[in-house]
Structure 1
């Protein structure tokens, strides 16, 4: 019997050092382990040849295209002329289009999986062919939903206006994708509900699939309590994602003063790549330590008594929540921060939305090591039961019909 084949189209090289990269890399490794031949076409996204070698070990064939294009007047012009959302225009290139066409002309696939809806733009014409492979989309984020969140907290009037203009365009584009694709994978039940309520309530239910993110659990050792530094809390994540920039700025300026007033010995550690100047500057605040990019995030996280995830803008993989759980760390987050993650407030995570309540929840954990351990171990069990790469790929295979 011939081995099943799949083509994955991604907007970046999916290496396990960012939220989306961790999720996709885990899928590739698990699919390959199960005997499925997976080819990957992706933008180089400034990765070196040495870095890309690691990706070649988890797929049959890797095709890398230079790009994606940088933000530029040409991208803006293309968006206007094609009446497409900016994020879609931002990820278009003629070279990527040609590369995908060539690959589909020379190889037969059972499934084509596009990572993120904006990469489906290369398959609209292909979706009208018959017969053809199953066309699946792993949405990761519901982009108009993200823009609505950003509009609520955006202080720059020009950016707020831009997002209000872009939101209906994104909804229109997303509806086209939903109609053209065969299977659509979403990370949370909230995302599925948003699709039905705000995009199209007449979609075939069989098209819409709930598939939680999966982690390769052998990469996540359980942190030991004796490695913690007293009264030390922290946040980790990539700061090229605006939601993380907003979360950390909000925490330091709004929650941190309340927390320090009640617990003067508390320390806050910020770790993650691509931090802009305003995030690096937070390291000058009393008790705040900015680390930036690190090669081994676990070396930072195991120092922390509590992980905080004060997100106000929702969507995406919530990898920082799942990774902290996998490492056995207690977490205090917001309702937005834990949106899409299966959880029980008070059992495997603490949820607090108001600044004072958030600060109090953190302090209560700092003063109670047994409670910290209880929450951390419960979070680890949650990940083992729901968020392993094996269980996530099981749902993928069920959705696409392998």
Structure 2
């Protein structure tokens, strides 16, 4: 049996983050293609506890030692002009280990998930491998950091973010050139690589999920108060910014327009979110929940007030599969649909507080509109985001060198 190697930041199970769900898509696709799979990822305290989950998916699991977030070496490199983000995930010792595994593994396919993991493979190493080597960018950090800088009110922090966004952008453009093919989850990300990669070496693709594992929930009334939901891992700054934007600017308009509760959930919940709960009985902050599917099933609408674009918002795809309509900003719908008409059938889009509140109200007040959006979005995801679609894409990748 042919062997494939997947390089990612975390052991992908349990699947409680976007990166992990994306990695699982590549695992399932490569298995369908007839590969046995080795996994290479960073270790942490929790991995020993969860390693048995889906361990049968992998022939071998290799763990790298995750570099410390702050180190003397990375600080010096930052002041010397390097990207801090990319430096914090890199060590020469780990690169040597990656090279050794690749040279001795005799792999027939290699997939690296996230650009900061992509820096472990040099152009010379990729050229020495007689197999397709693919980079799944997930999100372009240079572009995302640039938008984060625009939103930053503190002048000093804004200046640091502007510097880091330029350095991350430069680093990412160097990294993608080493690979036979780079995948992008948003057309806007792919456009950043025009002039850097030829069309044959870049591709906008749909995020692949194990769609059969999702339950499509009917609307749950049962005398419950109507509720809208925000969820996401808040250690990712785009989600933390979206939550602050929701609570500080959008919620007052929504609260005035609709008799509805706001439910908030996610890993690494922002501590300041609980302050809003204390002052408003209609806000309920759950933090990390045992089942995001059950959390969503108890609500009427999902909110995605994203202001920092890049990649695709997993919550959008999952929400469509779970049977809930979505109200989002324009930045939040990147990577969802290629056609404008298709996009507006799937999701309600609004970019100011009054329009956002009216979009929520429209879905709450009209059962017909609510169901029409749910049905269209569910059919769209089933058609575009399957593992079989990713199998076809991976099968078509050719060695570029």
TM above 0.5: yes
Distance in 2, Cα, partners of 1:285 & 1:234: 18
Q: 2:104 — aligned with what?
A: 106
- The aligned residue for residue 376 of structure 1 is 374
SS at match of 1:39: strand
Q: 8 Å contact 1:11–1:68 — kept in the other structure?
A: no
CA separation of 1:290 and 1:113: change in aligned 2, threshold 3 A: same
Question: Alpha-carbon deviation of 1:277?
Answer: 1.2
Q: Deviations over 1:335-357 (max 9, x none)?
A: 10001111634422100111110
How many residues are treated as equivalent by the alignment? 393
- Given candidates 228, 231, 244, the residue that maps to 1:249 is 244
Normalising by structure 2, report the TM-score. Answer: 0.92
| Counterpart for residue 193 of structure 1 | 191
Whole-angstrom distance in 2 between the partners of 1:8 and 1:14:
11
Partner of 1:226: 220
TM-superposed deviation, 1:55: 4.3
Aligned residue in 2 for 1:26: 25
Conserved 8 A contact 2:232-2:266: yes
1:364 aligns with 2:362: yes
Do the aligned partners of residues 271 and 98 (structure 1) sit closer, same or farther apart at CA in structure 2, a change above 3 Å counting? same
Uncovered stretches (5+) of structure 2, i.e. residues with no partner: none
Deviation at 1:65, TM superposition (A): 2.1
Q: Does 1:44 align with 2:46?
A: no
Q: Which residue of 2 aligns with 1:282?
A: 276
Deviation at 1:132, TM superposition (A): 4.0
2:334 to 311, 334, 339: 339
Aligned residue for 1:116?
114
CA pair 151-311 structure 1, distance change in 2 beyond 3 A:
same
SS of residue paired to 2:23: helix
Q: Counterpart in 2 of 1:77?
A: 76
Relative distance call for 1:375 and 1:72 in structure 2 (3 A) is same
Tell me, yes or no, if the aligned pair for 2:29 and 2:387 is still in contact at 8 Å.
yes
Q: For 1:185-334, list aligned pairs within 5 A.
A: 185-196=183-194, 201=195, 203-226=197-220, 229-263=224-258, 265-286=259-280, 287-334=282-329
2:181 is the counterpart of 1:183: yes
Shift of 1:131: 5.5
Matches within 5 A, 1:156-171: 156-171=154-169
Instruction: Specify whether residues 73 and 172 from structure 1 end up closer, same or farther in structure 2 by C-alpha distance, changes over 3 A only.
Output: same
Deviation at 1:212, TM superposition (A): 1.1
Cα distance, 1:345–1:179 mapped onto 2, change above 3 Å: closer
1:253-291 C-alpha deviation (Å, 9 max, x unpaired):
11111111122x310000101112123333224211000
| Residues 45/316 of structure 1: CA separation in 2 closer, same or farther (3 Å cut) | farther
Q: 1:395 & 1:131 partners in 2: Cα distance?
A: 20
Question: 5+ residue gaps in structure 1?
Answer: none
Contact 1:231/1:305 (<8 A) preserved: yes
Partner Cα distance (1:47, 1:390) in 2: 31
Shift of 1:17: 0.9
Q: Deviations over 1:237-259 (max 9, x none)?
A: 11111111111111111111111
Counterparts in 2 of 1:311 and 1:285: CA distance versus 1, 3 Å: farther
> How big is the shift at 1:66?
2.8
* Counterparts of 2:25 and 2:197, CA distance in 1: 29
For structure 1, which segment, 32-41 or 317-326, has the greater mean C-alpha deviation from structure 2 after superposition?
32-41
Deviation at 1:220, TM superposition (A): 1.1
Preserved contact between residue 69 and residue 93 of structure 1 (Cα < 8 Å): no
SS in 2 for 1:54: coil
Deviation at 1:125, TM superposition (A): 5.7
CA positional deviation for 1:152: 1.3
2:3 corresponds to 1:5? yes
What is aligned with 1:155?
Answer: 153
Secondary structure in 2 matching 1:315: coil
Task: Tell me: CA distance 1:180–1:20, structure 2 relative to 1, closer, same or farther (3 Å).
Answer: same
Name the TM-score, length of structure 1 as normaliser: 0.92
Q: Does 1:89 align with 2:87?
A: yes
Can you list the C-alpha shifts for 1:107-160, whole angstroms capped at 9, x where unaligned? 111232211112222211643754643332110111111011101111222221
Q: Are 1:333 and 1:350, in contact at CA under 8 Å, matched by a contact in 2?
A: yes
Structure 1 range deviating more: 220-229 or 323-332: 220-229
Distance 2:55 2:288 in 1: 24
